[in-house]
């Protein structure tokens, strides 16, 4: 069940992060632009460690808003599918993409070598398979 925090006449719905959530984002709505669909506003994805700060910010802002605010945990895959991430990656040159790929590859190999958590190592291996660096 999602905790609902009452803030005067408004409220904040703060979904608790799960084990695989890496980020958190505050989402809120504005009045409908076309008479039917409310405008969506999204704060930037923040590290999951900032969950309490995100909830505190939403609680502070809620009384000033017309519609409820939502604190939404996100997995790394969800963060990479955000519009901001797509714009950032879409604007990279081939050289920048190659450098990023090498950095990610190096980090994943360090995880496989040094991490004691078998779940994290399995996730790193799965990403390497998806990158076609290793086979399943």
Rounded to two decimals, what is the model's pTM? 0.70
pLDDT (mean) for 63-88: 89
Cα angle 115-118-123, degrees, rounded to a multiple of 5? 90
pLDDT at res. 1: 62
Buried (b) or exposed (e) across 25-34, using 16+ Cβ within 10 A?
A: bbebbeeeee
Domain ranges in the chain are 4-75, 92-130
Q: How far apart are CA 31 and CA 26, in angstroms?
A: 17
Q: Give me the percent of the chain exceeding a pLDDT of 90.
A: 62
How confident is the prediction for the chain on average, in pLDDT? 91
pLDDT grade for 84, boundaries at 50, 70 and 90: confident
Cα 42–chain centre separation? 11
């Amino acid at each position: 069940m999602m905790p609902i925090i009452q803030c005067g006449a408004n409220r904040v719905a703060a979904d608790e992060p799960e084990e695989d959530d890496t980020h958190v984002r505050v989402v809120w709505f504005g009045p409908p632009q076309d008479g039917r669909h409310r405008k969506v506003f999204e704060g930037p994805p923040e590290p999951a460690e900032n969950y309490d700060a995100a909830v505190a910010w939403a609680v502070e802002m809620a009384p000033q808003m017309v519609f409820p605010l939502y604190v939404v945990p996100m997995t790394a895959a969800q963060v990479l599918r955000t519009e901001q991430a797509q714009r950032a990656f879409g604007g990279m040159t081939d050289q920048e993409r190659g450098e990023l790929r090498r950095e990610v590859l190096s980090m994943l190999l360090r995880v496989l070598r040094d991490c004691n958590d078998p779940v994290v190592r399995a996730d790193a291996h799965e990403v390497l398979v998806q990158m076609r660096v290793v086979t399943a």
